[in-house]
Amino acid sequence: MFGAADHLGVNYADHGHAFTANDWTAMMDFFDKYLLGKPVERTFTHFPTEKELDDAAAAAAGRGNPR
């Protein structure tokens, strides 16, 4: 969309609905990489597996995280 194909990414966080310090770090890394051209170690291509989604849902429901 609008020529942004090289500037799209995903950051999977296995916590409930919140905005954490790790989320801020991911956002700043994304900006550094795509807006400033700086090298970052993080990738923005990881989509969660079914197990990761199930584990996060269980943790959010208070059943603990089985990892």
- Each residue's pLDDT, cut to its tens digit, for the chain (67 residues) gives 566 667 788 888 877 778 899 999 999 999 999 889 999 998 888 888 999 888 888 887 886 545 5
Structure tokens at 45: 């291509």
Q: What does 14-29 look like in DSSP terms, one character per residue?
A: -SSS---HHHHHHHHH
Q: Give the separation between CA 30 and CA 18, rounded to whole angstroms.
A: 19
| b/e per residue 1-14 (b: at least 16 CB within 10 A) | eeeeeeeeeeeeee
Q: Are 14 and 59 spatial neighbours (Cβ–Cβ below 8 Å)?
A: yes
Check residue 48 and give left, alpha or beta (phi > 0: left; psi -120 to 50: alpha). beta
What's the pTM? 0.65
